[in-house]
Structure 1
Amino acid sequence: MATDPTAGLALVSTFCPDRVGLVSGITSHLFEQGINLRDATFASLGSGAEFSAVCELPSGLTVAELQASLSSLPILSGAEVKVTPFAFDPQPGPQAMVTHRVEVSGGDQPGLVARLSEIFTQFDANIVRLDAQTLPDRAGERYVLRFSVSIPAERAEVCLSAVANTAETLGLNCQTDTL
């Protein structure tokens, strides 16, 4: 009899004001509950912060109990806390294997994320992670986009050239790394 790979899995999501100790407070609590972390992300978003993780719950711990215990943490005071069953296979597929990292930086331009992500789509590349930030710079502000992507080997060179050409046309810098 096959077992359900999603049994005992939950998605933990929090959003709250960014503060020192947030990741430590959340992950320590999860560890104390006997939870094993699988894929997890953390990001500062403006003055807020978002933490998400696929968690393996120990038998006997319910989604509702975990949500209640996280919501009671002082570090998560004022946070949006959501814990739901995780219904997807926790094993990443081949499209989740990062083959390249791409960084595009320069002045912020409306539609830039949409434009670059469309290029990846045209070459059957999957965006595994995306990070976009506005950073202070000597000249004012600098917008930085970082893509971790899975690009089919036979399409990688032309895909990366298209991204670099688009960035150059827009007056932006582009750096790529092959993993």
Structure 2
Amino acid sequence: MKKMIISVLAKDRPGIIASVTSDLYELGCNLENVNQMILQNQFAGFFITQVPKGLSCETIRQELALKEEDRGLTIHVRPLEEETQAPVSEKEIFLITTSGPDQKGLVAQLSSIISSFGANIVNMKAVFMGGSNPNENVMSYQVLVTKEIDAPAMFAALKEKANELNLDIRIQHKNIFDVTNKI
């Protein structure tokens, strides 16, 4: 079976996941991964599924659009490419959290530093409520760091930028975060 990734966007309401996954099941698809979130009042869902032979991206999109016709869903389907690069031998996840006054370009500036070192953001959440209350403006990055990356230099650059932007920053290895948050 080949794999496809399906993204679904819509105004949030109860039942979107139930409806889309039921439709995929009826098409003979097998779900492997699902990730969904609500941003303000908007639903965003991502479904990785194994697809039966002969079922194309366009057929899946058309069938989902037909079944969900009156529900206001925007659906995109594309094949999931096989991973061609060699697996990374040593990798670690670090959690980087900033809080502070809201200002334009925060995500762009910090993510550019992470990218410039060759690190990959594998998960990110930013909540901006505006104003200067740091508890209402928080960014959280999960960053994949390989042994080839100069992590201390990247962390120093992030701390320098955070200081320049008047942000509090915390950088913690995911394993340490997990252990301390079990208590």
Scaled by the length of structure 2, what TM-score is found? 0.74
1:16 — aligned with what? Answer: 10
2:152 — aligned with what? Answer: 157
Contact 2:28 2:52 in 1 (8 A): yes
SS of 1:94's equivalent in the other structure is coil
Identity of aligned residues (%): 25
Letter of the 1:112 partner, please give it: L
In the alignment, does 2:107 pair up with 1:109? no
**TM-aligned CA distance change 1:76 to 1:163, over 3 Å:** farther
Contact 1:8 1:56 in 2 (8 A): yes
Which one of the candidate residues 169, 177, 181 is aligned to 1:174? Answer: 169
**TM-aligned CA distance change 1:39 to 1:137, over 3 Å:** farther
Q: Deviations over 1:82-141 (max 9, x none)?
A: 22333x22588539x661121212222111111111211232211222222224899498
Instruction: Provide runs of 4+ in structure 1 moved above 6 Å.
Output: none
Distance, in Å, in 2 between the alignment partners of 1:18 and 1:98 is 34
Distance, in Å, in 2 between the alignment partners of 1:10 and 1:78 is 22
In the alignment, does 2:127 pair up with 1:143? no
Q: What are structure 2's unaligned runs of at least 5 residues?
A: 175-183
Letter of the 2:105 partner, please give it: G
SS of 2:77's equivalent in the other structure is strand
**TM-aligned CA distance change 1:170 to 1:138, over 3 Å:** closer
1:50 — aligned with what? Answer: 44
Contact 2:125 2:140 in 1 (8 A): yes
SS of 1:34's equivalent in the other structure is coil
**TM-aligned CA distance change 1:131 to 1:139, over 3 Å:** closer
In the alignment, does 2:147 pair up with 1:133? no
- Alpha carbon RMSD of aligned pairs, Å? 3.2
**TM-aligned CA distance change 1:147 to 1:160, over 3 Å:** same
Which one of the candidate residues 80, 84, 93 is aligned to 1:99? Answer: 93
Q: How many residues align?
A: 171
Distance, in Å, in 2 between the alignment partners of 1:76 and 1:53 is 21
**Equivalent runs, 1:14-93 vs 2, <5 Å:** 14-73=8-67, 77-86=71-80, 88-89=81-82, 93=87
